[in-house]
Amino acid sequence: MKSFYGDLPEKGSLLSSGIPSVEDLDGVLPPADARKKGPVAVLECFQEIPCDPCGYACKFGAIKEFSDVNDLPVIDWTKCTGCGQCVAACPGLAIFVVDETYSPEECLIAMPHEFLPLPERDQVVLLYDREGRHVGEGTVHRVVRGKDKIATPVVWVRAPKALGYVARALGLPEREGGSRN
Amino acid sequence: MTGLRIEEHPILDFPKRKKVKFFFEGREMEGYEGEPIAAALHAAGVKVLHHSLKLARPRGFFCAIGNCSSCLMIVDGVPNVRACTERLREGMSVERQVGRGPSLTGR
Amino acid sequence: MEYDLIVVGGGPAGLSGALKAAQNGVRVALIDRQEQLGGQLVKQTHKFFGWSQRYAGVRGIEIGRRLRDAVCAEPRITVFAGTEALGYYPDNSLLIESPSGVSRITAKTFLFATGAQERMLLFRGNDLPGVYGAGAVQTLMNVYGVRPGRSVLMVGSGNIGLIVSYQLRQAGVTVRAIVEALPQVGGYAVHASKVRRLGIPILTRHSIKEAHGTECVEGATIWEVDDKFRGIPGTEKDLDVDVICLATGLTPLGDLLWQAGVSMTYVPELGGFVPIYDENMETERPGIFVAGDAAGIEEASTAMLCGEIAGLSVAAKIGKIPRQRFEEERNALAQELSALRSGPLSNKVRTGYERIRALVQGRRGR
Ligand SMILES: Cc1cc2nc3c(=O)[nH]c(=O)nc-3n(C[C@H](O)[C@H](O)[C@H](O)COP(=O)(O)OP(=O)(O)OC[C@H]3O[C@@H](n4cnc5c(N)ncnc54)[C@H](O)[C@@H]3O)c2cc1C
Ligand code: SF4
Ligand code: SF4
Ligand code: FES
């Protein structure tokens, strides 16, 4: 169905196809006041798995300490600065930062990106939704690399505001190696 | 070498190694010293390493760690060498094997 | 030279076991068939889950490197790399084959941490070159730097199928589809979502019908399957692929355990026949310990903890550490282990381990 997150199944699609549903995403959408304030982390992590690095990565105490390693992450929106540390740390590549206050027309999206070649600042990139469909273009705002290849690079992209909660992957116009289907 | 070699990888670094020449069914080929024979052949586009005993069906490697015997070849005249673990050396001669291969004792 | 402990297998379980034992005064021989220690870890370029205190968020290759460095720096461990254990003899010796030849080594105790082997799948053309196990694809691509082909069909959507699909894309290979016979993705949803947004379809209730090609794979036909996993005629689709990658499950590698006369039992939740062992990771043959995938298919995170318990138990058994300290430390490790296994996605392995516990308790009761 058409939704704020793009064209996605209404519910029940996560485990039958890997595509988060509108229902899943509604559950993790930051509240309006947090989104109005600036960049916020969006934790698209919907399943209780033994995992906790996001909690350790956040230096602002915004992600609650895990009492059980299998817990879903719980975020305190009032503490999140949208710094993006957790995006690079999450082994599930399930965290994004969205800043809808960037400009009247554009938002900023931070996405983990472990493919070569890494895009460079001001480069135009193709944006894809959660099913890998091409949904538009963006411009690279910033690339945060780790200190070595072991870290996950985080690419911040300027994109049309309507794509803030739609685009979740990027690619270079001249296609990186193995192509999309 | 062909396009199957990974030149650049987002996570891994593959150290540059020495190129060596070897012979596959008499044809001269190139690979990297010390890599498994099967890796060098695969990179050169050779997938069939062996023919099965009963039906002479083509076989390639399957496990790549020396477990399954799907990749037995004749190396420098010695049959039943696992191409997935045997390391490539300069001048090696490698041939496809059929079934158990030729008997060394002549029986 | 006689060792206190021989560890067979240098994956996360064996490395952790060897380290824990050696740190507690045990003289260890560690053997692995591969030149490079690390087992499965040497091919895992993705970041692992688990606890942050225990390597969560660290890539598998890096975990392997850290364990390897620690083992090599430990003077009580002698490493025999590139050495295969061929057979176990009842006089506590092991026949081993290294590049320099065949020999025997003996020890008071053994830890078998030999990992797992891949399951094959039946379909027409499954013996064609180009049909590879997921492990082989990873070895070729991540260890030797060679792409398995240009275009892949992945069979199986467990974590392995999902992760290897992602890694194929990182290596510049196209993945046409992932097929899964079950109605649901087998692996973690986060892994599924991260490959899905790359445009790789995950087709549940689908399977491979046949591989095409004469000398090697030139294509594949997939089809939908019903609730009993039977293909539904008329739903066939042809895919243009040159590689079919099988990620259809693992089964514990128990050859040496069978030889050693260890009691085994069939536990489908753990991948097949597994050794019966107690809370110290000791089998019913005193002095023979197990850990990791060889004791039941699970994760590297749990394999490391089980390895540590086994190493500690060996130290206690041969009198290197006092009973009380042993029990305290073991209980702490056991607690971590059950916390890791407490989530809903561990239901299956938990059921498996409960069966083994019940068996052991039943026998003790007798
Ligand atoms: C694609 C993939 C992704 C994975 N992702 C994760 C993950 O994200 N998180 C996680 O926790 N786990 C993950 N796992 C699982 C994890 O890798 C395994 O559970 C773990 O490696 C098991 O450790 P092990 O030590 O028991 O066995 P292995 O790592 O398989 O090591 C066994 C070792 O024994 C050696 N050996 C076997 N037989 C002999 C013999 N006769 N003589 C000498 N040596 C022998 C082998 O060479 C090997 O080195 C993944 C696995 C795969 C395949
Ligand atoms: S974006 Fe920064 S502040 Fe917000 S949760 Fe992540 S690490 Fe914490
Ligand atoms: S690190 Fe990522 S996958 Fe792990 S719990 Fe946090 S959000 Fe979920
Ligand atoms: S491919 Fe299995 S032994 Fe070589």
Q: Which ipTM value was assigned to this complex?
A: 0.96
**Mean pLDDT value of segment C42-68:** 94
pLDDT per residue as tens digits for the range C128-144: 999 999 999 999 999 99
The answer to whether C131 contacts B12, with C-beta atoms less than 8 Å apart, is no
The answer to whether B10 contacts A114, with C-beta atoms less than 8 Å apart, is yes
Residue A74 pLDDT:
96
pLDDT per residue as tens digits for the range C17-39: 999 999 999 999 999 999 999 99
**Mean pLDDT value of segment C153-161:** 98
Which residue pairs, CB below 8 angstroms and at least 24 apart, start in C41-45? Answer: C41/C11, C41/C12, C41/C67, C41/C300, C42/C142, C42/C143, C43/C135, C43/C138, C43/C139, C43/C142, C43/C143, C44/C138, C44/C142, C44/C163, C44/C300, C45/B11, C45/B12, C45/C142, C45/C167, C45/C170
pLDDT per residue as tens digits for the range C179-216: 999 999 999 999 999 999 999 999 999 999 999 999 99
Residue C363 pLDDT:
84
- pLDDT at residue A181 tops 90: no
C129 chain-B contacts, CB cut-off 8 A: 47-49, 58-61
pLDDT per residue as tens digits for the range A16-57: 999 999 999 999 999 999 999 999 999 999 999 999 999 999
Following DSSP, what letter does each residue of chain A receive, concatenated?
-EETTEE--SSS-HHHHSPPPHHHHHTTPPPHHHHHHS-EEEE---S--SB-HHHHH-TTS-BPPPSSTTSPP-B-TTT-----HHHHH-TT--EEEEETTS-SSEEEEEEE---SSPP-TT-EEEEE-TTS-EEEEEEEEEEE--SSTTSPPEEEEEEEGGGTTT--EEE-TT--SSPP-
**C-beta of C298 in contact with ligand 1 (< 6 A):** yes
pLDDT per residue as tens digits for the range B9-60: 999 999 889 999 999 999 999 999 999 999 999 999 999 999 988 888 899 9
- pLDDT at residue C105 tops 80: yes
For the CA of B64, the closest atom of ligand 4 is 1
- Find, in chain A, the residue whose alpha carbon is nearest to that of B3: A177
**C-beta of C188 in contact with ligand 1 (< 6 A):** no
The answer to whether B13 contacts A149, with C-beta atoms less than 8 Å apart, is yes
Any chain A CB within 8 A of the CB of C184?
yes
CA gap A134, C292 in Å, rounded: 42
**Token output for B90:** 């300069």
C175 chain-A contacts, CB cut-off 8 A: 178, 181
Rounded distance from Cα B97 to ligand 4 centre (Å): 14
Q: How far is C342 from chain A, CA to nearest CA, in Å?
A: 7
- The pLDDT-based confidence of B1 (bands split at 50, 70, 90) is very low
B84 chain-C contacts, CB cut-off 8 A: 136
- Give kind and range of the element (H or E) at residue C60: helix C60-72
pLDDT per residue as tens digits for the range C304-355: 999 999 999 999 999 999 999 999 999 999 999 999 999 888 999 999 999 9
Q: Pick the closest to residue C16 from C63, C83, C84, C85 (CA basis).
A: C63
Close Cβ partners of A36 (under 8 Å, ≥ 6 residues apart) = A100, A101
- The pLDDT-based confidence of C117 (bands split at 50, 70, 90) is very high
- Give kind and range of the element (H or E) at residue C315: helix C300-317
Q: How far is B83 from chain C, CA to nearest CA, in Å?
A: 13
**C-beta of A81 in contact with ligand 2 (< 6 A):** yes
pLDDT per residue as tens digits for the range A61-117: 999 999 899 999 999 999 999 999 999 999 999 999 999 999 999 999 999 999 999
- Find, in chain B, the residue whose alpha carbon is nearest to that of A153: B10
Residue A127 pLDDT:
98
Q: How far is C157 from chain B, CA to nearest CA, in Å?
A: 19
- pLDDT at residue B85 tops 70: yes
Chain B: touching chains (3 or more CB pairs < 8 Å): A, C
Q: Residue C140 carries which side chain, given as an amino acid letter?
A: L
C131 chain-B contacts, CB cut-off 8 A: 60, 62
- pLDDT at residue C166 tops 90: yes
Output the average pLDDT for chain C.
Answer: 96
Contact A73, A59 (CB under 8 A): no
CA gap C61, B12 in Å, rounded: 9
In a 3-state reduction of DSSP, which class is residue C30?
strand
Residues 35-54 of C with CB under 8 A from A: 46-52
Q: Residue C315 carries which side chain, given as an amino acid letter?
A: A
Residue A104 pLDDT:
96
Residues 36-65 of A with CB under 8 A from C: 44-53, 55-57
Which residue of C132, C147, C149 is in closest CB contact with B6? C147
**C-beta of A154 in contact with ligand 2 (< 6 A):** no
Rounded distance from Cα C190 to ligand 3 centre (Å): 9
**Mutation test of the interface with chain B: which of A93, A114, A116, A154, choosing the one with the most B Cβ atoms within 10 A?**
A116
Contact A116, A172 (CB under 8 A): no
- pLDDT at residue A118 tops 90: yes
In a 3-state reduction of DSSP, which class is residue B63?
coil
- pLDDT at residue C366 tops 80: no
**Token output for C240:** 């243009």
pLDDT per residue as tens digits for the range C206-254: 999 999 999 999 999 999 999 999 999 999 999 999 999 999 999 999 9
**Mean pLDDT value of segment A105-132:** 97
Any chain A CB within 8 A of the CB of C321?
no
**C-beta of C67 in contact with ligand 1 (< 6 A):** no
The answer to whether C147 contacts B4, with C-beta atoms less than 8 Å apart, is yes
Residue corresponding to tokens 């009691």: C263
CB contacts < 8 A (B, C): 86
- The pLDDT-based confidence of A179 (bands split at 50, 70, 90) is low
Contact B29, B45 (CB under 8 A): no
Residue C53 pLDDT:
85
Minimum CA distance residue for ligand 2 atom 4: A80
Chain A: touching chains (3 or more CB pairs < 8 Å): B, C
Residue corresponding to tokens 């420098």: B76
Any chain B CB within 8 A of the CB of C48?
no
Residue C365 pLDDT:
73
Residue corresponding to tokens 């991540």: C142
**Token output for C48:** 């692992």
Which residue of C48, C339, C343 is in closest CB contact with A48? C343
B8 chain-A contacts, CB cut-off 8 A: 116-117
B57 chain-C contacts, CB cut-off 8 A: 127-128
**C-beta of C300 in contact with ligand 1 (< 6 A):** yes
- pLDDT at residue B61 tops 80: yes
pLDDT per residue as tens digits for the range C63-88: 999 999 999 999 999 999 999 999 99
